[in-house]
Structure 1
Amino acid sequence: MRKKQWPGWGPGEQAEQHYLVQPRALAGGGDLRHVSEFLRASGWRDKSKTGGPLFMESPDRTIRVAYDPYVLPGGWTIHGQADGPNGEWSAHLARQTPVEIIAGLTDALTRPRSAHAPNVWAPLKEQNWHTRFEDAHYTATSPDGTAWMQYHHSPDGTAMWWTGAKDKQGNGWTAHFSPTTPMHLVQAFSAELASPDPVMRPRGRVPHSAQIRTWSVSVKPSQLRAWQQARITAARAATWAANSARSTWPRTTARPYTTAGGARTRR
């Protein structure tokens, strides 16, 4: 029986070797476009300079996402301006933080906030992470001990979210969020951090670590493009739906009720 060819494959297209990597927290940084293209498709402005660091700005100009590999230690910086009752906030993530985990937070920046109260620890507990109090800190650790999430209290009274992953050779990354970072964003990050799903890396981009498991897969370039396009299409559709909903909202400012004589009624 002949194998059915995927419709998107071009004539003579050659498969390329990739690897599925697990746990995802130790998979390395990955392709920045996983983050940037989704934001761009969601209406964010790309203000990056040619050959320079990545710099994205939200449509209302209140949030900025940047990636700069040219400074030490380098990595991701996400900054949000004060907004009403919410204070200014920031997140800093090292270069080796997997883009799929970062996208948990940055994708959430494009969506309306849920009416449900966020719980950072819920996604971790669902994946059987171990939680414990240590001094003034509350910490969750992955079952294999390679990743953690902590609400950290410093001796001077300041607090922050501290997270990261590290193998036995010392390879890994750390990230921290200011205590004013909106909780639903930290929860979206923790959900991707705890996800058991592997992530894909091309040959030559898989970290050397005894703590990871890999599976070799053959992938057509057109398959990769189709998967990337599906993510971009979803972002555009969600943005279109949100903009359409806002444009059809009824006016909320009602005219005061008056009597036949024109006098405003009193309660």
Structure 2
Amino acid sequence: MPLSERQLAAFADKHAVQIPYDTSPRHLAGPGDARHVTHGLAAAGWNAVSDPLSAEIILASPDLRHRLQFDPQSRTSAWWRLRAEPVGTEPGWYTEFGELVPAELLAAFTDALTAPPPKQPDPWQQVTSAGWHHEPDGARSPDSMCHIELRPLSEFHDRSSWHIETREPGHGEFPGPRIWHAYLDEHTPAHLVSAFLTALTDHSPLQRGMFERTGHYSAVQEPSPLRPQQVVDAHATRIKHLRAQARSARRQQTKPATIPAHASTAQPAARR
């Protein structure tokens, strides 16, 4: 399902008439436009395998290993689910994200999934450099409303998984109501975890339209220096990059094997 010009035009039509507001911190910016995620995956060659008349969207990667499900009618707090099937010696993995996770954070995760993996980074590095407070079991944002933990899912799990929660301020030892959560299991590749945490802890604001839903009333919004068209252009530039990246990957996969220069091409000597 290639991303059509009509679909890009629909995105542009919506955002061209919205006055962008710089919204921070990112964990309180609200969900934003889900097309940051779905357009990016479609540009990378993912296909829709769900009923086009359903509110649920299911996208599958070209190799069918990865599958993203967006279900705004979910009976659980997880609206986004992304699964990877095991391949060879590589284990499968699972992640889920709540309704109010900013789409730009999830898009950073999926963009990293469709790109060639870099060297395995330390996911904590960006959290540390962003000035988040260290705690014995993880880290928390400067406003103490977002908490990152690396711990086993339960006592029956040996390996640790990532648990990120944004909550309203609590009272003493009692946490406030949960705003959104993200769960990345113990087999989620480190570079994908790093991409999500880097986007989460980035100090630059996210753009939201006037009166657009935020994650919490304490989110700070100020008129953005960006014009609406600049927001649209940034999306178009990202989509163009993802398309080019996908084409390059396909060319590499179909490139014929070459004979090494040092390989001998001489024929065996004839028998005397």
Which bracket does the TM-score occupy, shorter chain normalised?
Answer: 0.7 to 0.9
Which secondary structure state, in structure 1, belongs to the residue aligned with residue 195 of structure 2? helix
> Which letter does structure 1 place at the counterpart of 2:140?
T
After TM superposition, list the pairs within 5 Å mapping 1:213-252 onto structure 2: 213-217=220-224, 222-248=229-255, 250-251=257-258
Aligned to 1:16: 18
Name the structure 2 match of 1:8. Answer: none
RMSD: 2.7
Q: Is contact 1:16–1:218 with CA below 8 Å preserved after alignment?
A: no
Going by fraction, where is helix more abundant, 1 or 2? 2
Deviation at 1:75, TM superposition (A): 0.6
Contact 2:22 2:223 in 1 (8 A): yes
Kindly state the Cα deviation for residue 105 of structure 1 after the two structures are TM-superposed: 1.1
Q: Does 1:56 align with 2:63?
A: no
One-letter identity of the residue aligned with 1:150: E
Aligned residue in 1 for 2:140: 141
Q: Which residue of 2 aligns with 1:45?
A: 47
- Distance across 2 between alignment mates of 1:208 and 1:222: 25
Equivalenced residue count is 245
Per the normalisation by structure 1, the TM-score is 0.81
Q: CA distance change for structure 1 residues 146 and 216 in 2, over 3 Å: closer, same or farther?
A: same
SS of alignment partner, residue 109 of structure 1: helix
| Separation of aligned partners in 2, 1:130 and 1:256 | 61
Amino acid at match of 2:238: R
What is the rounded CA distance, in whole Å, between the counterparts of 1:151 and 1:91 in structure 2? 14
Q: Is the 8 A contact 1:15 1:218 kept in 2?
A: no
| Cα deviation 1:116-149 (Å, max 9, x = unaligned) | 222111110111222232xxxx412122212222
Q: Is 1:260–2:262 an aligned residue pair?
A: no
Counterpart CA distance in 1 for 2:224 and 2:46 is 33
Q: Return closer, same or farther for 1:248/1:215 CA change in 2, 3 Å cut-off.
A: same
Which of 162, 166, 183 lines up with 1:176 in the alignment? Answer: 183
Cα distance in 2 for residues equivalent to 1:187 and 1:21: 22
Residue 119 of structure 1 pairs with residue 122 of structure 2: yes
Instruction: List runs of 5+ in structure 1 lacking aligned partners.
Output: 1-13
TM-superposition CA deviations, 1:8-41 (whole Å, max 9, x none) = xxxxxx8532321100111111111000001111
Larger mean Cα displacement after TM superposition, 141-150 or 103-112: 141-150
- Structure 2 residue ranges without an equivalent (≥5): 1-15, 170-175
Equivalent residue letter for 1:18: P
Distance 1:23 1:108 in 2: 22
Aligned residue among 88, 92, 99 for 1:84: 88
Identity over aligned pairs, percent: 26
Bigger mean CA deviation after superposition, 230-239 or 199-208: 199-208
Residue 257 and residue 131 in structure 1: after superposition, are their counterparts in 2 closer, same or farther (change >3 A)?
farther
* 1:151–1:249 distance in 2 versus 1, CA, 3 Å: farther
Q: Judging by fraction of residues, say which structure has more strand.
A: 1
CA distance in 1 between partners of 2:270 and 2:149 (Å): 62
Return closer, same or farther for 1:260/1:40 CA change in 2, 3 Å cut-off.
Answer: same
